[in-house]
Amino acid sequence: MSARAQIGVTGLAVMGRNLARNFARHGYTVAVHNRSYAKTESLIADHGTDGDFIPSESMKDFVASLAQPRKVVIMVKAGGPTDAVIQELIPLLDEGDIVIDAGNAHFPDTRRREAELKEHGLHFVGTGVSGGEEGALNGPSIMPGGSKESYEWLGPILEDISAKVDGVPCCTYVGSDGAGHFVKMVHNGIEYADMQLIAEAYDLLKQGLGASAKEIGEIFAEWNKGDLESFLIEITADVLQHVDAETGSAFVDIILDRAEQKGTGRWTVQNALDLGVPITGIAEATFARALSGSVPQRTAANGVLEAHAGTWEVTDREAFIEDVRLALYASKVVAYSQGFDQIAAASEEFGWDIDRGAMARIWRGGCIIRARFLNRITEAYERDANLPLLLADEYFVSAVGHGVSAWRRIVAQAALNGVPTPAFASSLSYYDGVRADRLPANLIQAQRDFFGAHTYQRTDKAGVFHTEWSLDRSESTES
């Protein structure tokens, strides 16, 4: 077997198969392998003409077909299967070879694997890949971590097969060890928030206007021509206008209202709690999915809990639609602002030195959250790479500020009329919280000192203080 493949893919289910085809279509010689040989055979039978593939039945032959330094992309089920494939590969590889995990790994696993492979003299590149099966085939957004040295070998190939926006590849080096998978995780968290916000906007239009799914779909199609232009808004317009062939009803009206999840939203929220970063939009979106699936609780509450709610009377249809649009845009900026705060905090914690503007740039195409306004985020970080709050960038101050009154009207009316808007409302609360002169955290500090001697700081002088609450209430200072 001649070792001539420039890249290899092991794991040829929907994602690996399409990624291998993408490499081949870009002129690379691609070694392909799958645990069960049938998937390899079917790739060659169905798409062998896409380019130059070298199929192998055994992992040994697969590795032998790769030119050095070998570049092996693992695209198998995340978790145990990825570890199993890595262990199979280690004895077959040589120092300097590069193992790329392009699955949806949890970033602490990537950090562990990177450290282990380093001991064997191997590069391990945890790589986020977004865009689903369509993206894998035609150009995904790619977020590689690992060593900078490995990116010199790998970067040109990955940039080549990634999506392009204005000729710029949606792929860049993210940072060492688990940085790539971390950023992909936050990307997915933002995707949860974006989807929940869109769902709330749909519900508001439905409840406020009594509009049909088709009519709401037309509104979303219109919104997609402006600031909100994005893949998710575009598919929402499409899905809402789709008719169920069996019943003739609007497709969305026959779908059970229970949202599922694969866990990346949960990981994002868990990590944000560890880092102490408020990502309320993503958290509310994750919990909203959990609430939708809380069947016993929903059954116990339905028709029992009192609403005392008004009925929505919209007098100016166009003004209401514009209010919902502005509230959606503002809430969406909050979700991104929070997600970028989380990236900054993790970058600091793990020494990744992540360029947030570059992350917004590689999310402009190929991935699920691709959107016109990501250009604005890149510009904001170009103006100030250390921007402490995306919302405080001059562009977003004005863009969100323009919609604040509408946002308040929508959240207030939704509350009065009993329509749940967890992501809209929590985003507005965050906005008011982060801009507040003074928060009620002073009282919390006083309570903590009262029951636990946890101390407090004062507004009028420096130092750390404690009051003897159960004695004479005298104040002491800690050095």
Ligand X SMILES: NC(=O)c1ccc[n+]([C@@H]2O[C@H](COP(=O)([O-])OP(=O)(O)OC[C@H]3O[C@@H](n4cnc5c(N)ncnc54)[C@H](OP(=O)(O)O)[C@@H]3O)[C@@H](O)[C@H]2O)c1
101: closest CA among 191, 181, 26, 42?
Answer: 181
Task: Decide if 191 is catalytic.
Answer: yes
User: 334 or 367: whose CB is closer to ligand X?
Assistant: 367
Q: Is 224 annotated as a binding residue?
A: no
How many chain residues bind ligand X (CB under 6 A)? 22
CB 105, min distance to ligand X, A? 7
Applying CB under 6 A, among 27, 57, 58, 77 the residue interacting with ligand X is 77
> According to DSSP H, which parts of 124-253 are helical?
132-138, 148-161, 179-209, 213-223, 231-241
User: 35 or 206: whose CB is closer to ligand X?
Assistant: 35
User: 140 or 403: whose CB is closer to ligand X?
Assistant: 140
CB 19, min distance to ligand X, A? 9
In order, the DSSP letters of 370-411 are -BTTHHHHHHHHHH-TT-S-GGGSHHHHHHHHTTHHHHHHHH
In order, the DSSP letters of 10-57 are E--SHHHHHHHHHHHHTT--EEEE-SSHHHHHHHHHHHGGGS-EEE-S
CB 109, min distance to ligand X, A? 11
Q: Is 138 annotated as a binding residue?
A: no
Give the C-alpha separation, 96 to 129, whole Å.
23
Applying CB under 6 A, among 7, 15, 171, 334 the residue interacting with ligand X is 15
User: 104 or 286: whose CB is closer to ligand X?
Assistant: 104
- Which phi and psi (to 5°) does residue 311 adopt? -105, 140
The answer to whether 278 and 430 have CB atoms below 8 angstroms apart is: yes
- Tell me the three state secondary structure of residue 86: helix
Choosing from 71, 114, 159, 184, the catalytic residue is 184
User: 35 or 112: whose CB is closer to ligand X?
Assistant: 35
Q: Is 34 annotated as a binding residue?
A: yes
CB 428, min distance to ligand X, A? 32
Could you say whether residue 266 binds ligand X (CB under 6 A)?
no
CB 173, min distance to ligand X, A? 19
Could you say whether residue 103 binds ligand X (CB under 6 A)?
yes
Q: Is 265 annotated as a binding residue?
A: no
Choosing from 71, 114, 159, 191, the catalytic residue is 191
- Tell me the three state secondary structure of residue 222: helix
> According to DSSP H, which parts of 90-147 are helical?
107-119, 132-138
Q: Is 454 annotated as a binding residue?
A: yes
Q: Which stretch binds ligand X (CB under 6 A): 35-43, 332-340, 401-409, 451-459?
A: 35-43
CB 84, min distance to ligand X, A? 4
Applying CB under 6 A, among 5, 7, 9, 16 the residue interacting with ligand X is 16
Rounded to a whole number of angstroms, the CA Rg of the chain reads 26
Applying CB under 6 A, among 73, 76, 98, 360 the residue interacting with ligand X is 76
User: 16 or 265: whose CB is closer to ligand X?
Assistant: 16
Q: Is 446 annotated as a binding residue?
A: no
Q: Is 16 annotated as a binding residue?
A: yes
Could you say whether residue 12 binds ligand X (CB under 6 A)?
yes
Residues paired with 349 in a beta bridge:
none
Give the C-alpha separation, 23 to 52, whole Å.
9
Applying CB under 6 A, among 9, 43, 85, 237 the residue interacting with ligand X is 85
Applying CB under 6 A, among 35, 112, 164, 372 the residue interacting with ligand X is 35
CB 188, min distance to ligand X, A? 9
Q: Is 103 annotated as a binding residue?
A: no
Instruction: Please list, residue by residue across 429-450, b when 16 or more beta carbons sit within 10 angstroms of its beta carbon and e when fewer do.
Output: ebbeebeeeeeeeeeeeeeebe
Report CA dihedral (296, 298, 302, 307) to the nearest 10 degrees.
140
Rule CB under 6 A: which of 104-163 touch ligand X? 104, 129, 132-133
- Tell me the three state secondary structure of residue 127: strand
Residue nearest to ligand X (CB): 103
Q: Is 293 annotated as a binding residue?
A: no
Q: What is the DSSP letter of 253?
A: G
Applying CB under 6 A, among 22, 29, 34, 331 the residue interacting with ligand X is 34
- Contacting residues for 290 by C-beta, under 8 A, at least 6 apart: none
Residue type at 151 in one-letter notation: Y
Q: Is 344 annotated as a binding residue?
A: no
HSE-CB for 82 with a 13 A CA cutoff: 23
The answer to whether 68 and 97 have CB atoms below 8 angstroms apart is: yes
- Which phi and psi (to 5°) does residue 300 adopt? -65, -30
Could you say whether residue 14 binds ligand X (CB under 6 A)?
yes
User: 232 or 327: whose CB is closer to ligand X?
Assistant: 232
Could you say whether residue 69 binds ligand X (CB under 6 A)?
no
Task: Decide if 184 is catalytic.
Answer: yes
Question: Cα–Cα distances in Å, from 199 out to 137, 331, 333, 443?
Answer: 28, 13, 16, 36
Q: Is 433 annotated as a binding residue?
A: no
Residues paired with 478 in a beta bridge:
464
Active centre residues (catalytic): 184, 191
* Residues tagged in the binding site annotation for NADP(+): 11-16, 34-36, 76-78, 104
Contact set with ligand X (CB under 6 A): 11-16, 34-36, 39, 75-78, 81, 84-85, 103-104, 129, 132-133
* Residues tagged in the binding site annotation for substrate: 104, 130-132, 187-188, 192, 262, 289, 448, 454
